[in-house]
Amino acid sequence: MPSERLKNKPAASNGSDRLFSPLQVLVVDDVPAIRRMLCQMLQALGVRPPIHESGDGLEAWKALQERSMTWLSVTSTCPA
């Protein structure tokens, strides 16, 4: 039966492992639960750790001074 084959078959890679694995991501939000959720969503999409986190603008600025980031996610209401 086709449904039996699908249940036992490992999930096919859609190429996201190769596409997202080299990213250096910084997630900036003042709410820890939102940061965790965003990090979990990014990992589910194939982004590999470490995913860097900052709780405010100053902390994010310091993180950006220490390392180069490929992608940045920032809340629009994050305090400086």
DSSP string, the chain: -HHHHHHHSPPPP-SHHHHHTT--EEEE-S-HHHHHHHHHHHHHTTPPSPEEEESSHHHHHHHHHHS--SEEEE-TT---
Percent of the chain with pLDDT over 90: 38
Q: Which residues of the chain have pLDDT under 50?
A: 1-12
pLDDT digits (tens, 9 = 90+) for 45-66: 888 888 999 998 899 999 999 9
